[in-house]
Copies of this chain bind each other. A is one copy, B any other.
Amino acid sequence: MSIEHRAWEVVLQSIELDLLSGRLRPGDHLPPERALAAELGVGRSSVREAIRVLEVLGLLRTSAGSGPTSGAIIVALPGGGMSALMRLQVAAQGFPVADVVKTRLVLEASVVTELAEASARAAATMDANAALHPDLSTPALLLGAMDSPALSEAEFLALDAEFHLALATASGNQVVTATMAGLRSAIEGYVRAGATGLASWPDTSTRLRAEHRAIIHAIEAGDPPAARRLVQSHIAGYYAETHLANHLPDNYADDHTDATGHPVGR
Contacts and interface: CB of A to CB of B under 8 A. Distances in A.
Interface of A: 8, 16, 19-20, 24-26, 45, 48-49, 52-54, 56-59, 74, 76-78, 81-82, 84-89, 91-96, 99-100, 102-103, 105-107, 109-110, 113-114, 117, 173-176, 178-179, 183, 189, 224-225, 228-229, 232, 236, 248-249, 251-266
B45 A106 contact: no
Given A48-B45, A254-B265, A174 B113 contact: no
B260 A265 contact: no
B262 A249 contact: no
Nearest to A252: B263
Contact of A260 (B113, B175, B178, B248): B113
A253 B82 CA distance: 28
Given A59-B88, A96-B174, A173-B102, A265 B259 contact: yes
Contacts of A82: 85
A94 B174 contact: yes
A26 to B, nearest CB: 6
10 contacts: A57-B89, A89-B178, A99-B174, A106-B262, A113-B259, A224-B260, A249-B265, A253-B263, A256-B264, A257-B262
Given A19-B91, A26-B94, A257-B264, 11 more contacts: A19-B88, A56-B56, A59-B94, A78-B85, A85-B85, A107-B107, A109-B261, A117-B259, A228-B260, A228-B261, A258-B264
